[in-house]
C-alpha cells in the first residue's frame, strides 16, 4: 500500500512536472513566434530603408551628372566668348589699318604723284608694325642666318655666291613669333653654296 501511495504521488508529481514543461514549451513557442515575427518585420523595414537609400543615391547621382554636364557646356560657352572677344580686339585694330589703306588709295586717285602714295603706304606699314608689336608679335630674322627647321620652311635650295651651304639665302615670306611661339614659319630658300 505504501508503494501504491508512493507510486501515485510520483505519478502526480510527474504529471504536474509534465504539465509545467508543456506550459513552458507553449510559452517558449509563443515567444519564438513573436521573436521571429519581429525579426521578419525588422528585416522588411531594413530592406525598405536600404531601397530608399539606394533610390536617394541614384537621384543624387543623376542630379550631379546633370549639373556637371551643364557646367561643361557653360565653360565651353565662356571659352568661346573669350576667344571671340580677343579676336574682336585684334580685328578692330586691323579695321583701322584697312581704313588707312582706303584713304591712301583715295588720295592716290586724286593726286597722281607716286611719292604721296609711297608715304601713305609707309605710314600704314609703320602702323601695322606697331600693332604687331602691341600683341608681342615680332618678325623672324631669317636672311643670312643658319637654316633652322623650328623657324623656317625650306621651299628650295639656291646657289649663292654670298652665302655658304645651309644658310638662308632667300626669304620669300617673313615668319613671325609671338613671344617664344612660332605663329608662322619663314618661307625660305637655303643656300647650297657656290656652284
Per residue in 95-131, pLDDT tens? 778 777 777 777 766 666 677 777 878 888 888 888 8
Q: How far apart are CA 147 and CA 191, in angstroms?
A: 9
Do strands 181-184 and 176-178 pair parallel, antiparallel, or not at all (unpaired)? antiparallel
Q: In the structure, what pLDDT confidence band is assigned to residue 15 with cuts at 50, 70 and 90?
A: low
- The domain limits of the chain are 138-195
Q: Looking at domain 138-195, which CATH architecture does it have? A: Roll (2.30)
pLDDT at position 78: 94
Model confidence at 43: pLDDT above 90: no
pLDDT per residue over 59-93, tens digit each? 999 999 999 999 999 999 999 888 888 877 787 77
pTM beyond 0.95: no
Percent of the chain with pLDDT strictly greater than 90: 32
Task: Please list, residue by residue across 9-21, b when 16 or more beta carbons sit within 10 angstroms of its beta carbon and e when fewer do.
Answer: eeeeeeeeeeeee
Mean pLDDT value of segment 164-186: 90
Model confidence at 35: pLDDT above 60: yes
- In angstroms, the Cα distances linking 65 to 71, 158, 177 are 10, 61, 42
pLDDT per residue over 132-146, tens digit each? 888 888 889 999 999
Amino acid at each position: 500500500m505504501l508503494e501504491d501511495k508512493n507510486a501515485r504521488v510520483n505519478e502526480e508529481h510527474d504529471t504536474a512536472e509534465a504539465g509545467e514543461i508543456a506550459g513552458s514549451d507553449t510559452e517558449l513557442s509563443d515567444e519564438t513566434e513573436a521573436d521571429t515575427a519581429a525579426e521578419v518585420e525588422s528585416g522588411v523595414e531594413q530592406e525598405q530603408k536600404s531601397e530608399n537609400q539606394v533610390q536617394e543615391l541614384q537621384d543624387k547621382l543623376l542630379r550631379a551628372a546633370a549639373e556637371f554636364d551643364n557646367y561643361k557646356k557653360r565653360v565651353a560657352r565662356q571659352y568661346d566668348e573669350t576667344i571671340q572677344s580677343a579676336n574682336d580686339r585684334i580685328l578692330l585694330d586691323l579695321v583701322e589699318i584697312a581704313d588707312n589703306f582706303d584713304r591712301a588709295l583715295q588720295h592716290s586717285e586724286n593726286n597722281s604723284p607716286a611719292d604721296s602714295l609711297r608715304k601713305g603706304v609707309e605710314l600704314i606699314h609703320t602702323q601695322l608694325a606697331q600693332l604687331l608689336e602691341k600683341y608681342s608679335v615680332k618678325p623672324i630674322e631669317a636672311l643670312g642666318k643658319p637654316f633652322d627647321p623650328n623657324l623656317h620652311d625650306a621651299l628650295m635650295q639656291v646657289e649663292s655666291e654670298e652665302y655658304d651651304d645651309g644658310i638662308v639665302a632667300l626669304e620669300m615670306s617673313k615668319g613671325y613669333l609671338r613671344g617664344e611661339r612660332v605663329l608662322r614659319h619663314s618661307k625660305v630658300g637655303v643656300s647650297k653654296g657656290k656652284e
